[in-house]
Structure 1
Amino acid sequence: MTFAHRLRPRLVQERESVSTLELFFDLVFVFAITRVTDFMADDPTGVNLLRGSLVIAVLWWSWVGYAWICNLVRADEGVVRVVMFGAMGGVFITALTIPEAFDDLAGGLDGPVVFALGYFVVRALHLLMFWVISRDDPQLRGQVLRFTPSMLIGTTCLLIASQLTGTAQTVMWFLALAGDYIGTLIGGTGWRLRSVAHFAERHGLIIIVALGESIVSIGIGVADLPISWAIIVASLLGLAVSGLLWWSYFDVTSLAVEHAFERATGARQIQIARNCYSFLHLPMVIGVVMLSLGLKKILSYVGDGNHHRLTDPLYGWPLIALFGGAALYLLALVWFKAYATGSVTVPRVVAAVILLALIPLAWHVPALATLGILTAVLLALIGFEMIRYDEPRDRIRHAHP
């Protein structure tokens, strides 16, 4: 076997499972999400929550590009493996720089510039890999060429943002994301998919990664504190919230969308992949990260050891992040399913509205009670859906599309 043959990409098969290298690749995103949560938790102001969301959107677009590549060629074969490790390095350096993504810290390199350059490297490797694998596919090569300007606009705006401060800097971040996201939206549907099951599984696993961050936030919040009944109750309630969010995605919704995804053909299939998975999974991830921020703050309250602290309410932006994050996640799930299947899950819209309406009330109750309220609303939602949609749920879970 020649060296050139060893470097040759291998095509993904129709029912291919996610490779171990793709799971390894996700580890740097686990770290990045943790860094974003810590960045927002250190100073949970509205500005920092906005900045954290912008960073997640940039990181998400880095991840999305490789999800599409690895649906065409195996991540663990040939030159693709080398590119994946190179991209991991770029994402990891970008994640290390998250605390300095907007404001450079004293000493060392210029943080915002390093962040922007790390993103550029990740996107450039992604584009180069697409160029290589499209050499025998004129339609895909044309799609890559139409996509290139949006990539250049996004990375250029981010580099410009690294030289600015304040409102001007934030505006350039929005322009960077607009270049990427809107450019992709209007760039056509000439992309390729080789395995619907692989693509759906890949995005389901990244939701697991995000939910894992919510569990990590619970543990980190009390890691160095002596165990108490308040910590036990808060930890179990936080774990229940994460579990209920898992249930809301994986029990039926992801399967219903995947079935519609498999039935679709041509441009419609690419539209579902782009809109349901590449676009609508972003607000789900942002919602879970916001929720993680609220959970981390609640655990710091109940683990304080001060009896007075147990009665203190969770208020301000951490409270908005807790309830608003859960509501955002539910609404994104509704849109995710509605776009693919045409069915709107009304109870989830109602639950999201209730969570948002409860924020003023929760502002005045103990933090632990606030977590109990959130758990109760989600539990009521899942319980209602289990009873109300029992027959269609059974059909979706146990019948092939």
Structure 2
Amino acid sequence: MDETTPTGAGHGRAVVARVRIRARSRTEPHRASTPLELLFDLCFVVAVAQAGSRLVHALTGGHPGHGISGYLLIFFAIWWAWMNFTWFASAYDTDDVLYRIVTLVQMSGVLVLAAGVPRAFDDADYTVAVVGYLIMRLALTFQWLRAASGETGPERTVALRYAAGLVVVQLGWVGLVLLPGSLWIGGFLLLVVAELAVPAYAEHVRRTSWHPHHIAERYGLFTLIVLGESISAATVAVQSALDESAALDLLLPVAAGGLLIVFAAYWNYFAVPIHQHLTSNRQSFVWGYGHYAVLGSAAAIGAGIEVVVEQITHHTDLSARAAAGCVTIPTAVFMITVWAVHTRHFKTGLAQHLVLPIGALAVLACTPAGHLAVPLAGLVSACTVAAGVRPAASR
């Protein structure tokens, strides 16, 4: 069934509605992210912003355990749904009418998930969030069935395994909503393991034709968007404080330190050509899964800066040291995880390997400085960039 429509703006080729789709070439030249993928990412930023906002609310309200656990649960759903779409699109993005419509459905699911974040955090009611997640996953299941209808042999088996795995796990999420609260965390962790196992199970037969350059670019762009959300959150927090005529002598160093942290995070992340490392499923799975910590900590940096501003303006009972930890801890986590799953593959010599791990420890050591912790952490972050500039330039 074919239906020709106007030329697609994203790919510059005819947009054709078809039930069956075939995999794109892994060696396709000039493969880049599409405008549709970027729009998809922006929808996810709404959910990331909601999760960060509720994390700030929980931390400033004196409920760190509840806030951090809720943030980790919600961010997993956001990250995993984004990641699954990204890897599928890398192999099967045809940009036809039906593909665009199904992607729009997935975007709708993201927004439903975002709408359910406050209830999940405040009342431990995950019903709306799970419904949004199910919308995204069912749409992806349909895409895998489309792929199966257009493939033969091992490729068809892989697509059917993905579709079957998704259906089984989504039934688990439906059942999870019905469980009593005392069993929820255990059930959630079990389903997380099941979700992570689906790609390994499906691609055990044959690797899908994801494109290394495209995947590296997609992850890089989403990392930029999440870091941008941290800047936005910090800007709003500082602006709110200025509207109340809060002390500039404390706010300006926090704003400057936060900007240095984000800029250093950008520099360290993009210092290596990671697509050269993505040569097998084993390497790509470890790298891709590790981005849960990379992206989660990047988003948490902005939330931490908001907490520091709240402490300075006396809107929370947190101590200056505790508020500082809300910035230094995610900054340190970002550094160490970026090194572990991303940059270490291109470091040469012990000195270069130690830059980010030692930087992470130095950032944590800034925590007792209280109000000065953020600018100090910013300076430490800048030092990690300076230490890696010459080796990066020589590659």
TM-score, length-scaled by structure 1: 0.82
In the aligned structure 1, how far is the partner of 2:210 from the partner of 2:183? Answer: 42
Instruction: Tell me which residue corresponds to 2:86.
Output: 67
- Is 1:346 aligned to 2:346, yes or no? no
For residues 117-147 of structure 1, the C-alpha deviation after alignment (integer angstroms, 9 at most, x for no partner) is 2211211111210221232243222123333
For residues 190-215 of structure 1, the C-alpha deviation after alignment (integer angstroms, 9 at most, x for no partner) is 23235321111011001011101110
Instruction: Tell me which residue corresponds to 1:301.
Output: 311
Task: Note the residue ranges of structure 2 that are not aligned, 5 or more in a row.
Answer: 5-14
Instruction: Tell me which residue corresponds to 2:98.
Output: 79
1:163-178 aligned at under 5 Å gives the runs: 163-164=178-179, 166-178=181-193
The aligned amino acid for 1:370 is A
Kept in 2: contact 1:102–1:165 (CA 8 A): no
- Is 1:132 aligned to 2:152, yes or no? no
In the aligned structure 1, how far is the partner of 2:75 from the partner of 2:222? Answer: 13
Instruction: Tell me which residue corresponds to 1:209.
Output: 225
Instruction: Tell me which residue corresponds to 2:374.
Output: 371
Percent of paired sites with the same residue: 18
Kept in 2: contact 1:217–1:296 (CA 8 A): yes
Could you say what secondary structure the match of 1:6 adopts?
strand
Could you say what secondary structure the match of 1:97 adopts?
helix
1:1-400 aligned at under 5 Å gives the runs: 3=3, 6-8=16-18, 11=24, 13-44=28-59, 45-74=64-93, 76-101=95-120, 104=123, 111-134=125-148, 135-148=150-163, 150-164=165-179, 166-189=181-204, 190-224=206-240, 225-226=242-243, 228-250=248-270, 252-253=271-272, 255=273, 257-261=274-278, 264=279, 268=280, 270-277=281-288, 279-302=289-312, 304=313, 313-316=319-322, 318-337=323-342, 345-356=353-364, 358=365, 362-363=367-368, 365-367=369-371, 369-386=372-389, 390=390, 392-396=391-395
The aligned amino acid for 1:393 is A
Please report how far the alpha carbon of residue 165 of structure 1 lies from its aligned counterpart in structure 2 after TM superposition.
5.1
Kept in 1: contact 2:161–2:201 (CA 8 A): no
CA 1:339–1:148: 2 relative to 1, 3 Å: farther
Please report how far the alpha carbon of residue 2 of structure 1 lies from its aligned counterpart in structure 2 after TM superposition.
5.2
CA 1:150–1:340: 2 relative to 1, 3 Å: farther
In the aligned structure 2, how far is the partner of 1:202 from the partner of 1:14? Answer: 16
For residues 298-322 of structure 1, the C-alpha deviation after alignment (integer angstroms, 9 at most, x for no partner) is 12334x2x7xx9xx85343x54432
Could you say what secondary structure the match of 2:320 adopts?
coil
Please report how far the alpha carbon of residue 328 of structure 1 lies from its aligned counterpart in structure 2 after TM superposition.
1.5
CA 1:165–1:40: 2 relative to 1, 3 Å: farther
Kept in 2: contact 1:21–1:75 (CA 8 A): no
In the aligned structure 1, how far is the partner of 2:239 from the partner of 2:252? Answer: 12
Kept in 1: contact 2:141–2:167 (CA 8 A): no
Kept in 2: contact 1:154–1:177 (CA 8 A): no
Task: Note the residue ranges of structure 1 that are not aligned, 5 or more in a row.
Answer: 106-110, 397-401
Kept in 1: contact 2:269–2:342 (CA 8 A): no
For residues 163-213 of structure 1, the C-alpha deviation after alignment (integer angstroms, 9 at most, x for no partner) is 345442122221221110134345434232353211110110010111011
The aligned amino acid for 1:324 is I
In the aligned structure 1, how far is the partner of 2:136 from the partner of 2:301? Answer: 28
In the aligned structure 1, how far is the partner of 2:282 from the partner of 2:344? Answer: 10
In the aligned structure 2, how far is the partner of 1:202 from the partner of 1:136? Answer: 25
Alignment root-mean-square deviation, CA: 2.8
Please report how far the alpha carbon of residue 153 of structure 1 lies from its aligned counterpart in structure 2 after TM superposition.
4.6
CA 1:171–1:130: 2 relative to 1, 3 Å: same
In the aligned structure 1, how far is the partner of 2:67 from the partner of 2:213? Answer: 37
In the aligned structure 2, how far is the partner of 1:2 from the partner of 1:147? Answer: 25
CA 1:34–1:290: 2 relative to 1, 3 Å: same
Q: How many residues align?
A: 366
Kept in 1: contact 2:234–2:303 (CA 8 A): no
Instruction: Tell me which residue corresponds to 1:399.
Output: none
CA 1:51–1:348: 2 relative to 1, 3 Å: same
Kept in 2: contact 1:327–1:352 (CA 8 A): yes
CA 1:185–1:73: 2 relative to 1, 3 Å: closer
In the aligned structure 2, how far is the partner of 1:201 from the partner of 1:20? Answer: 13
For residues 223-282 of structure 1, the C-alpha deviation after alignment (integer angstroms, 9 at most, x for no partner) is 3333734333322221111001001101x23x1x22233xx3xxx2x33332212x1111
Kept in 1: contact 2:325–2:367 (CA 8 A): no
For residues 310-368 of structure 1, the C-alpha deviation after alignment (integer angstroms, 9 at most, x for no partner) is xx85343x544322211221222122237855868222122223334x2xx624x332x
In the aligned structure 2, how far is the partner of 1:164 from the partner of 1:127? Answer: 25
Instruction: Tell me which residue corresponds to 2:10.
Output: none
Please report how far the alpha carbon of residue 3 of structure 1 lies from its aligned counterpart in structure 2 after TM superposition.
1.8
Could you say what secondary structure the match of 1:334 adopts?
helix
In the aligned structure 1, how far is the partner of 2:345 from the partner of 2:141? Answer: 28
CA 1:7–1:131: 2 relative to 1, 3 Å: same
In the aligned structure 1, how far is the partner of 2:239 from the partner of 2:178? Answer: 38
In the aligned structure 1, how far is the partner of 2:41 from the partner of 2:71? Answer: 19
